[in-house]
Amino acid sequence: MTKMRLAVISGSVREGRYGPGIARWFSEQASTHGLFDLDVIDPAGTALPAALPISPELLLDVAGRPEEMRRLAGRLERADAFAVVTPEYNHSYPAALKHLIDWHLTQWQAKPVALISYGGQGGGIRAAEHLRQVFNELHAVTIRNWISFDQHWTRFDADGRLTRDAEGAQAAAKSLLDQLGWWSTALRQARLAVPYQAA
């Protein structure tokens, strides 16, 4: 069976963030699952310009970008599926994550997106629901199952190891990855058969 390429995106760039640790935990679950080749993307590692081009046509000009931005666009383009790890800031997702998303138009199209959120009592669910609307506009498919960590600072240690309710989280990850595997395989076959055209 052909492995799908899964890009795991850590959504926060704040100092002291938990995102990379949670992304590492999820990547371990995905690696064990066996269907995916992984590419972990950290927005803190790529300097995106503050201003977006006015014209969508300019956003499509990946070849005219600096090398660092071309590499990021290529990594997103090669992905068959995405898993976005997001905290909840002010009832939504981080500005850095929106910035990364907005710099790329076609790379998300006809591909599935899984959401892993974390936050206070709500576990970042509002951030995840906002992202569903954004990815829908970009012609991506967010899968139904998601993972949510409420009071994440009590669940992970300083090294990003899950220390509470690990079995429940692992079961949720397997269910999510099963769905993501089905969608990534189906949509990859569809893209190969008929190139996707966004109207």
Q: Could you list the pLDDT tens digit for every one of the 199 residues in the chain? A: 689 999 999 988 888 788 888 999 999 999 999 999 999 999 888 888 888 888 878 888 898 888 999 999 999 999 999 999 999 999 999 999 999 999 999 999 999 999 999 988 888 899 999 999 999 999 999 999 999 999 888 888 877 788 888 899 999 999 999 999 999 999 999 999 999 988 7
- Cα separation, 62 vs 76, in Å, equals 12
Identify the pLDDT of residue 187: 97
The C-alpha angle with vertex 115 and arms to 67 and 57, in degrees rounded to 5, equals 40
Identify the pLDDT of residue 1: 67
Do the strands 112-119 and 141-142 form a parallel or antiparallel pair, or are they unpaired? parallel
In this structure, are residues 98 and 190 in contact, taking their beta carbons and an 8 Å threshold? no
Listed residue (41, 5, 18, 9) closest to 134, CA to CA: 9
Would you state the CATH architecture of domain 4-193? 3-Layer(aba) Sandwich (3.40)
Give how far Cα 65 sits from Cα of 53, 87, 95, Å. Answer: 11, 29, 21
Beta-carbon contacts of 39 under 8 Å, excluding residues fewer than 6 positions away, are 5, 6, 7, 8, 75, 78, 79
* pTM of the predicted structure, to 2 decimals: 0.94
Give how far Cα 30 sits from Cα of 6, 21, 106, 160, Å. Answer: 9, 14, 25, 16
Domain ranges of the chain: 4-193
In the three-class reduction of DSSP (H, G, I as helix; E, B as strand; rest coil), residue 46 is classed as: coil
